[in-house]
Amino acid sequence: MSWVLLCLSGFTEIAAVVFIKFSQGFSRLKPTIAVLFADAFTFYLLSLALISLPVSTAYSVWTGITTAGTVIIGMLFFNEKRSFKKMISLILIIISVIGLKLIS
């Protein structure tokens, strides 16, 4: 269950990052409020996951999920550059997250 909470926390953080983009420097009220709620929920889920997971593994996996997810969302929805090097780096992040999960 802790791994599910950790993954949900990572996905919620991806949403928070997207809301930050839409907030335009926190100058738009609704996306700014969405950031605050998403981040509060993110850290609540992360705190629940940390009850039974090692902090080093959980935080690393959470950061990897957030990083990889944000890169993918950026490429799919915000027309961010796609390159071979970026894709290799993304694959390495995903492999690292899987590796951390498997060894914990």
**pLDDT tens column, 21-59:** 999 999 999 999 999 999 999 999 999 999 999 999 999
Residue whose entry in the numeric block shows the structure tokens 């269950």: 1
Structure tokens at 91: 């694959």
Question: Which pLDDT does position 59 carry in this prediction?
Answer: 95
Two structure tokens written together for 84: 């071979």
- pLDDT tens string 56-93: 999 999 999 999 999 999 999 999 999 999 999 999 99
Q: How far is CA 50 from CA 2, 12, 37, in A?
A: 8, 16, 20
Full-model pTM: 0.91
Per-residue pLDDT, 101: 86
